[in-house]
Structure 1
Amino acid sequence: MKNKVALVTGATSGIGKSTAVILASKGAKVVIAARREEKGQQVVEEIRALGGEAVFLKMDVASEESIRDGIQWIVDQYGRLDLAVNSAGISKTPAPLVDTDTKDLQDAFQTNVIGLFACMKYEVQQMLKTGGGAIVNVSSIAGIRPTNLSNAYSASKFAVEALTKVAAKEMASQNIRINSIAPGPTKSEITEGLGDTMIEKFSQMIPMKRIAESEEIAKGIVFLLSEEASFTTGTTLVMDGGFII
């Protein structure tokens, strides 16, 4: 991955941040794309302190204009885009169908589905110009087997799975590989906000009796981006400690 240009959305924390750090450690030029500039600059400084190369790009995946302009900025700066990780996403407060606001579903789809669709669209446009690339979309086990109270989130992640597979099939002959990763419960700002009791409840539901570290999921993403996965496209890598067995 040395000198490859990599975009990571939602890279200020959790899986996105860990992925950016690992990519930079392998020699990639990493673009940290997120809304929170202060947090983003902290990640950039952390990567540079470790000897890696990174820059911050303010991007809001809920805005197609922000995505389009951001990816164009990357190409203007580096001349290409080789790798992309679409990690930005939101999760709404769990609620049964009858108590779920329509706006919660709309918000989830705006960021998790429409935003991801726009990211892939502009990423692929640039990769086609330079001979190929690799994309990983961060999905969820909720997009494979839905759970109670996750109407908006599960629906959005099922859509991510569909978008990933359709795009992968379309681009397979163009040297662009597109895969998804489906993590189970993972340490992040979102899970920290749930509290210790809920984290322990999740842990007891997982055969490995713990939730994932973000670095563990990031390693799976980096594998899918690498040449070691050169014949892999349109697949979903489940990393859940056995949760959905």
Structure 2
Amino acid sequence: MTDDIDIAPIGLLSGKVVFITGASRGIGAAAARLFAAEGAAVVLAARGTDALERIVKEIRAGGGVADAVALDLADPAGIRAAVDRVEDLHGRLDGAFNNGAAGQRPGPLDTTADEDIDEQFAVNFRAHWTAMKAEAALMRRGGGGAIVNTSSIGSRRANPALPAYGAMKRALNSITETAAATWGPEGIRVNGITPGGTATEMIEEWEAVSPGIIEANNAATPLGRMARPREVAEAAAWLLSDRASMVTGAILPVDGGAGA
């Protein structure tokens, strides 16, 4: 499935500085292109710096503003340094899309290894906690901003095949709501999105290990298909924009009705 959607940009993020983690592929890469097209100056972060540089060159060639920074989400100091780099480049931060994720090897709770749990905690929970604190500190100095965290449909219900992944994403929902309540008085909005099956490299990796995942997802989704990464990024763009100025503490499903 291609990620082409024939929707013209409308300047939804015009004039904003937006930081995107996990921006080298999948939803993060789609968000990088979309946010830039909607007028944002984007700072892209991921481990895959070669892929980041290709996206940066593409955005700049189209007249957009983009920079890249190397980031390992398992490294708290590296996360803080990446946010510091945003300040060095632009002097402020208006929006942040915390999108990186670690996939879990599919398997039941009984066989989930301690190493899997540690990785899920580091990347799918602690990294967002660390990033939000650093992002909020920079936003606070500029008078406010908006943060969007990528969770998962797997956080909203039992997740027998990916128990550690689902547990950490559910914990992410909790700190998203808590941050919204804590930082709202300072003009910082915090929301989450819970994508369902999305046509990314991660789902292809799961399909290779557990054939039939994509077919089962489509059968359980009222819209009958996987989401395109751009479609998920569109929801994040709206939440980061001033159009969502009264929305905070929301966990928005972007799952084609699969969680209904």
Q: TM-score, normalised by structure 2?
A: 0.92
Residue 177 (str. 1) matches residue 223 (str. 2): no
- In the other structure, the counterpart of 1:150 is 162
DSSP 3-state at the match of 1:27: coil
- 1:241 maps to a residue whose letter is G
2:153–2:195 Cα contact (<8 Å) kept? yes
Matches within 5 A, 1:24-35: 24-35=36-47
Percent of aligned positions with the same letter in both sequences? 38
For the aligned residues, what is the CA RMSD?
1.1
> After the TM superposition, which segments of 4 or more aligned residues of structure 1 sit over 4 Å from their partners?
none
Separation (CA, whole Å) in 1 of partners of 2:49 and 2:146: 26
Helix, strand or coil: the match of 2:131?
helix
Count of aligned pairs: 245
Report Cα offsets for 1:187-214 as digits up to 9, x if no partner. Answer: 1111122247431221112111111000
Pairing of 1:86-101 with structure 2 (within 5 A): 86-101=98-113
Distance of 2:253 and 2:216 partners within structure 1 = 20
> Quick check: 2:14–2:38 contact (8 Å CA) kept in 1?
yes
> What does 1:11-160 correspond to in 2, within 5 Å?
11-160=23-172
**Aligned partners of 2:29 and 2:197: how far apart in 1?**
16
User: CA–CA distance in 1 between the matches of 2:242 and 2:158?
Assistant: 32
Unaligned stretches of 5+ in structure 2?
A: 1-12
Corresponding residue to 2:176 among 159, 164, 170: 164
Question: Structure 1, unaligned stretches of length 5 or more?
Answer: none
Give the equivalent residue in structure 2 for 1:207.
222
Q: CA-to-partner distance for each residue in 1:204-238, whole Å, 9 max, x for gaps? A: 12111111000100000000001110000000110
Output the CA distance in 2 between the equivalents of 1:77 and 1:10.
19
Contact 2:109 2:160 in 1 (8 A): no
Please give the residue correspondences for 1:220-235 in structure 2 after superposition, counting only pairs within 5 Å: 220-235=235-250
Counterparts of 2:44 and 2:146, CA distance in 1: 17
Question: Which letter maps to 1:228?
Answer: R
